[in-house]
Amino acid sequence: MLASLCVRGYERGHCAAIGAPLIEILPMPDKTAPRQIQPAPKIGMVSLGCPKALVDSERILSRLRADGYAFSNDYADAAAVIVNTCGFLDSAKAESLAAIGEAIQENGKVIVTGCLGKDAALIREAHPKALAVTGPQATEEVAVAIRAAAPIAPDPFVDLTPAAKAPEDIERVSLTPPHFAYLKIAEGCNQRCSFCVIPSMRGRLASRPAGAVLREAEKLVESGVRELLIVSQDTAAYGVDLKHAESPWRGEPVAARIDDLVRELGKLNAWVRLHYVYPYPHVDRLIPLIAEGAALPYLDIPFQHASPKILKAMRRPGDAEKMLDRIANWRAQAPELALRSTFIVGFPGETDQDFEELMAWLEAAQLDRVGCFKFENVAGAAANDLPDQTPEEVKEERWRRFMEKARELSAARLEARIGTEIDVIVDEVDAEGAECRSYAEAPEIDGSIFIDADFEDLRPGDIVPVKIDEAAEYDLWATRTDS
């Protein structure tokens, strides 16, 4: 009877009489016999680079789990290893190549993906034993390579299950703690900053429809996420490529525009934190939304420099004085606003005067959190060909001066927070206390707030009110006010 047969069709040969493909018809498994199910192959993952790359890693692992794979954090226990690389700076390339080499030595079966994967020749030259090399955003290509390297044994009990879900419907594998998640709203970038090669690696701006972003955000919040960290290469440009097209969300159209998206995200029961916000004029429209509570009073804006000459050479917005006026206006509307930024010192042509302009601007801007990079030539970047390359010893001296100023500014701004009462989200709890963050601290890149008394009942993801008691250069200490 057909009902008692399991049909698995594949072409093994042809019937000489009619030329039809043969179909193997297998008996249904005996359900009374003990099931011998082969364990799923385990896959390892090494994820390097920025949070945007981390989201790519999560997507790859989500795809593989939907295909039936398990995961391992041990080279020896993994059937294959994926290395998601970074290629932003030469130092990052070196780290990525070293990670690939370690994975090949410890495991042998290695699939390479990520930004450095765009330079497959470089990887193949350094590591010819790599099984496959793909660029960034290559979820399906990586999945195909994994299936070839570590195939899942056929199982008649599960081979006829429904087809895999569409990517947006696959349950997400998280590489962050359960209470926060990165939400990527776009890929690529239309900017042509002279020091950056990201557009050549990740392509032009490609925004996701607002409805798709909001559906993913809603699922994350329903799964227990308390904080959504919004990321892309150029967050403020979100939707430009879509001409701000509308898409449905909860029965209403929502435009692919950053302020419209933030307004809707603010209706979910989670903190919303904005990263990589290029300082376009329309960013001013976000400030009233922040003041209303739709997003945390926190903006991550990569200013990069303050000298008009250097900003022009970087192909960045060049009016530092107007930027100071905008910052003052933002803080007038949202007094708690915390600003984080990154800067580059030692850019080609940077004179002592240019550097002093940067230091004076930093003092005037009074940013809350700042980071600094020494300029590096990166293969393919336009800045490589600029004259007057800065000597390494000068870069080092300027970087040290910058970081000393950054510590002074941070310590002073944190000192001013003593006595204030705020809500914090708990990241970790151990025998010595709880490590937390407020609206002003993003995970892993900013400082922390520590509670070292009355913390025993706290769990990661809890949000509790505290009073700030002590301050250091980058961290704060607080006591709970709800007990």
- Are the C-beta atoms of residues 476 and 470 closer than 8 Å to each other? yes
Domain 42-149 = CATH 3.40.50.12160: yes
**Strand ranges in 104-233 using DSSP code E only, listed in sequence order:** 110-114, 132-133, 180-184, 186-187, 206-207, 227-231
CATH classification number, 421-480, choose in 2.40.50.140, 3.40.140.10, 3.60.10.10, 3.30.420.40: 2.40.50.140
Residue among 230, 189, 186 at smallest CA distance from 442 = 230
The amino acid occupying position 349 is: G
Looking at 148-162, 310-324, 442-456, which range is the least confident one?
A: 148-162
How many Å apart are CA 448 and CA 241, to the nearest integer? 37
How many Å apart are CA 92 and CA 85, to the nearest integer? 8
Supply the mean pLDDT for the chain.
89
Contacts of 121 (CB under 8 A, 6+ apart): none
Q: What pLDDT shows up at residue 320?
A: 86
Q: What pLDDT shows up at residue 281?
A: 92
- SS3 category, 370: strand
pLDDT band at 96 (very low <50, low <70, confident <90, very high): very high
Determine the topology of domain 167-415 in CATH.
pyruvate-formate lyase- activating enzyme (3.80.30)
pLDDT band at 326 (very low <50, low <70, confident <90, very high): very high
- Are the C-beta atoms of residues 47 and 57 closer than 8 Å to each other? yes
What share of the chain in percent tops pLDDT 70?
A: 89
Residue among 9, 4, 3 at smallest CA distance from 24 = 9
User: Tokens 């709203």 appear where?
Assistant: 185
Rounded to an integer, the average pLDDT of 163-181 is: 75
**Strand ranges in 209-337 using DSSP code E only, listed in sequence order:** 227-231, 246-249, 252-255, 271-274, 298-300
Tokens of 20: 């039809």
pLDDT band at 171 (very low <50, low <70, confident <90, very high): confident
Residue among 24, 158, 48, 149 at smallest CA distance from 97 = 48
Single pTM value for the model? 0.84
- CATH 3.40.50.12160 positions along the chain are 42-149
Please write the tens of the pLDDT for every residue from 364-398: 999 999 999 999 988 888 998 899 999 999 999 99
Task: Flag whether pLDDT at 26 surpasses 60.
Answer: no
Which residue(s) pair with 43 in the sheet?
A: 71, 80
- CATH 3.80.30.20 positions along the chain are 167-415
How many Å apart are CA 111 and CA 387, to the nearest integer? 39
For residue 131, CA distances in Å to 108, 126, 138, 229 come to: 9, 13, 15, 34
Which residue(s) pair with 31 in the sheet?
A: none
- CATH 2.40.50.140 positions along the chain are 421-480
